[in-house]
Amino acid sequence: MTTDLMMLAASAGLAWLLIMTAATPKLMKQGLAWGMGNRDHAATFPPWVERATRAHANLHENLILFAIVVLVVHITGHADDTSATGAVVFFAARVVHAIVYVAGVPGVRTLAWVVSVAGMFMIASTLLG
């Protein structure tokens, strides 16, 4: 398995971790019936739980683009050291993004997002050569 694909799988694992980070305290507070219901009545949660939900949504948006780029590079045989490095950069930046987003550190969060996008551009750049 290429580094690109390993980082894609690791990013999927990170997405799952963020789902659980947000869902577990919600279920603990509201109960299983709420979790299995339609959640028609809004509940309030601590700010870090809401940030975990938003961090997951942000990762989900970017993970789709990351997956497309990684898979196109892999399928077309353009995976190389640059795409591998870009994938590692993306994943590492997304880990930092998740941690600082949940912790509530706005400036670093944005910088981590920019670095993750740079990682995707590194991967995509291999298609030009």
Query: Does the global pTM surpass 0.85?
Result: yes
What is residue 103's predicted lDDT score, i.e. its pLDDT? 97
Q: What is the pLDDT of residues 33-42, one digit of tens each?
A: 777 777 777 7
What is residue 38's predicted lDDT score, i.e. its pLDDT? 77
Its sign, for the CA torsion 118, 76, 80, 9, is: positive
What is the pLDDT averaged over residues 11-28? Answer: 92
Domain 3-38+47-128 has CATH 1.20.120.550: yes
**Worst-scoring range by mean pLDDT, 5-14, 26-35, 62-71, 99-108?**
26-35
Extents of the domains making up the chain: 3-38+47-128
Res 32 pLDDT > 80: no
**CB-based burial, 78-115: b 16+ in 10 Å, e otherwise:** bbbeebbebbbbbbbbbbbbbebbbeeeeeebeebbeb
